[in-house]
Amino acid sequence: MFPRLRRDVRLTLGALAVTAGALTLTGILPASADSVGAFTCADKTGGVAGASGTVYDVRVAHHDGYDRLVIGFPTTNTMPQYQLNRQTTAQFVRDASGQPVTLSGSAGIRVVLQNADIVNGAPNDLKPNLPEIREVAQIGDFERVVSYGVGLSTPACIRVLELSGPTRLVIDVQTAPDAAAATAAPSSSVVASTATSQPATPSGLAATGHPAQPAQPANSSVIATLILGLLAVTAGLAIAGIRRFARK
């Protein structure tokens, strides 16, 4: 009787440990998914020395608390070296002509990509007029150095992310949080070029560098189902052990 009882107790305790681990995991996952770094009011550098890349797309979209600029390098697995310099004006100098250019806004960010080029047809002047990002213009493509000027409404703080699959450089510019009443309407942000203008909705990772929000309830549902299943197994093992003990 006692060996069987000890075995049943071990099985029950093991199931309880698995359940506790699952509960702990559900508490950790949401926090880690939202930890994408803090905004800082400083210049940024990054990438890998010697890595090359071709800019295929430039996208802009607004999110709650920040405007997002995404520069895509889909044909490389390594981020080229980059440098972001914040400035207090929206005036830039074109590389290599030295011609001055003034973008929309009162402040700016100069984005320099080393060992890079641009595919034909990539956007070269976007005017989304978002809360912070007013205009994004290509201001250089010379001797494997690509430059963009970003016109800002104010000298805001920034956050830089390097994403993979495909490789993307993400530049978030901090804004004031959106009003709660605005959540019922779809995004009205636009991505405009010199030739066309189209909606820029922050709905896909490939388009904006931001995970799609509707995926979150699905993940929560799967985790909840897993927890319920583990609890059911635990209860079954406990009941079976009690019944065996009673028969003895």
Q: Where are the domains of the chain?
A: 2-35+216-247, 44-210
Question: Residue 74: how many CA atoms within 13 Å on its side-chain side?
Answer: 9
| CA-wise closest residue to 111 among 73, 149, 159, 78 | 149
What is the average pLDDT across 123-127?
Answer: 97
- Candidates 135, 137, 130, 85; CA nearest to 109 is 85
Q: Report the predicted TM-score, pTM, of the whole model to 2 decimal places.
A: 0.64
| Backbone φ and ψ of 88, nearest 5° | -90, 5
Please return the burial class of 103, using the count of CB atoms within 10 Å of its CB with bins 0-12, 13-18 and 19+. Answer: buried
CATH topology (fold) of 44-210: Immunoglobulin-like (2.60.40)
Instruction: Identify the band that residue 179 occupies on the pLDDT scale cut at 50, 70 and 90.
Output: confident
Sheet holding 158-163, edge to edge: 57-63, 66-73, 167-174, 158-163
Pairing relationship of beta strands 53-55 and 116-118 according to DSSP bridges: parallel
| Torsions phi, psi for 120 (to 5 deg) | -60, 135
pLDDT at site 235: 63
Does residue 28 have a pLDDT over 60?
A: no
Which is higher by pLDDT, 174 or 232? 174
Owner of token pair 């990054």: 46
The 10s digit of each residue's pLDDT in 72-123 is 999 999 999 999 999 999 999 999 899 999 999 999 999 999 999 999 999 9
Residues 6+ apart with CB under 8 A from 25: 223
